[in-house]
Amino acid sequence: MEFFWYVVLMGILAVYIVLDGYDFGAGIIHLFFAKTEKDKKAITSAIGPFWDANEVWLIAAGGVLFFAFPTLYASSFSGFYLPLMMILWLLIFRAVGLELRGQIHHPMWEVIWDKAFGIASLLLALFFGVALGNIVRGVNLGMVENGVSTQEAHFFFLPLWNPTFSPQADQLGIIDWFTLFLGVVSSVTLTIHGANWIIYKTNSSLNAKLKEVVFKLNFVLLGLVIISLLIWHKIEPKPFHNFVENPVLWIFPLIAFIGIFGLFKVKKFKKDGLGFLFSSMFLVGGFAATTASIFPNVLPSTNTVNPSLTIYNTAAGEYGLSVGVYWFVIALALVIAYFIIQYKVFSGKMDDIGYGEH
């Protein structure tokens, strides 16, 4: 049952990354490329009916984590308390920027909330990449000092950064050169993903320019991915051991690279949705490959005193996990029905929705 709920949790997170990921990317495009009022409205219209529903997947992931892996929930929500609060405030500012922008038609008012929406989107893309970096790098479980655990084996707390800015320091921080690098990878990826969504859902005058942006940024992304694979060896001595032992797992990196190489043809696509499909493949494949590389760990320990947190030593009781399956099936059916209706109602181009206008 532990493996089943792990797959469910990772599946929910993958859906969240794809769906709210295009919201973040659209916000970054809005910040840097939308110069005219028409383009700004086209971008907000493209995500307006979807962004709040997309965020529900993050809440669902938190709920599954609390139910299925309570020890991991308690450990991570206390240890990552500071960045989680920062992410919460950024989510609030992004939402407020979208909702309040159209309340008053005054240039200064609109500029303030445009910047709030764009900057919050950029920082969220960066912080979620940093968060993934912290998970694959690991943390000092038990707050070990001089070979002695000063706290419970599953407890840790990280400052925003440490003086050395190193991912291999004894006392780690949230931000170091490795986690920050993955934050940059995340930001570039979601910018491409958001641009593809805008191309797919609008007839904006930006679309031709965005195809050029996607094409150029894809070279940057490919270079960043190659570098990340090389520096991963500095963090994990045997980064591909799971793939060697289970060759079927190579399907995930394959999906990711199909996605990234497919995006090089973005300027030739006849159908606008193909770019979004390929960027979604890269996101899902890359996320799945990353989580598969550390399995069964869900939060590695950087010391040898306390064991890593795995899906087995953090899971709830067998009875509770079994009963939860029935409720999960019901919830999944309702969610699928909701999203089918939502995306059917708002199918096609969204330029004329007029989201946020009052």
Query: How many domains are there within the chain?
Result: 1
> Which pLDDT value is given to residue 146?
80
> Which pLDDT value is given to residue 354?
67
Task: Find all residues with CB under 8 Å of 237, minimum gap 6, and list them.
Answer: none
The parent domain of residue 303 ranges over 2-142+149-345
CB 130 within 8 A of CB 179: yes
Any domain includes 101: yes
Q: Would you put residue 308 in left (φ > 0), alpha (ψ -120 to 50) or beta?
A: beta
> Which pLDDT value is given to residue 298?
92
CB 197 within 8 A of CB 26: yes
CB 121 within 8 A of CB 94: yes
Q: Rounded CA gap, 280 and 61, in Å?
A: 19
CB 79 within 8 A of CB 335: no
Any domain includes 340: yes
3-state secondary structure of 159: coil
Q: Using a cut of 0.85, tell me whether the model's pTM lies above it.
A: yes
Q: Rounded CA gap, 206 and 34, in Å?
A: 8
Residue type, 220: V
> Which pLDDT value is given to residue 356?
61
Any domain includes 259: yes
Any domain includes 356: no
Any domain includes 350: no
Q: Rounded CA gap, 180 and 167, in Å?
A: 10
> Which pLDDT value is given to residue 108?
85
> Which pLDDT value is given to residue 219?
95
> Which pLDDT value is given to residue 101?
79
Any domain includes 120: yes
Any domain includes 214: yes
Q: pLDDT tens, position by position, for the chain (358 residues)?
A: 899 999 999 999 999 999 999 999 999 999 998 888 888 888 888 888 888 888 889 999 999 999 999 999 999 988 888 888 999 999 998 888 888 877 777 788 888 888 999 999 999 999 999 999 999 988 888 888 888 888 888 888 888 888 888 888 778 889 999 999 999 999 999 999 999 999 999 888 888 899 999 999 999 999 999 999 888 887 877 778 889 889 999 999 999 999 999 999 988 888 888 999 999 999 999 999 999 999 899 999 888 888 999 999 999 888 888 888 988 899 889 988 988 898 888 888 877 776 666 4
Any domain includes 357: no
What is the CB neighbour count within 10 angstroms for residue 107? 7
List the alpha helices (DSSP H) in the chain: 2-32, 37-47, 51-68, 70-79, 81-100, 107-137, 177-201, 207-235, 241-245, 251-262, 273-294, 318-345
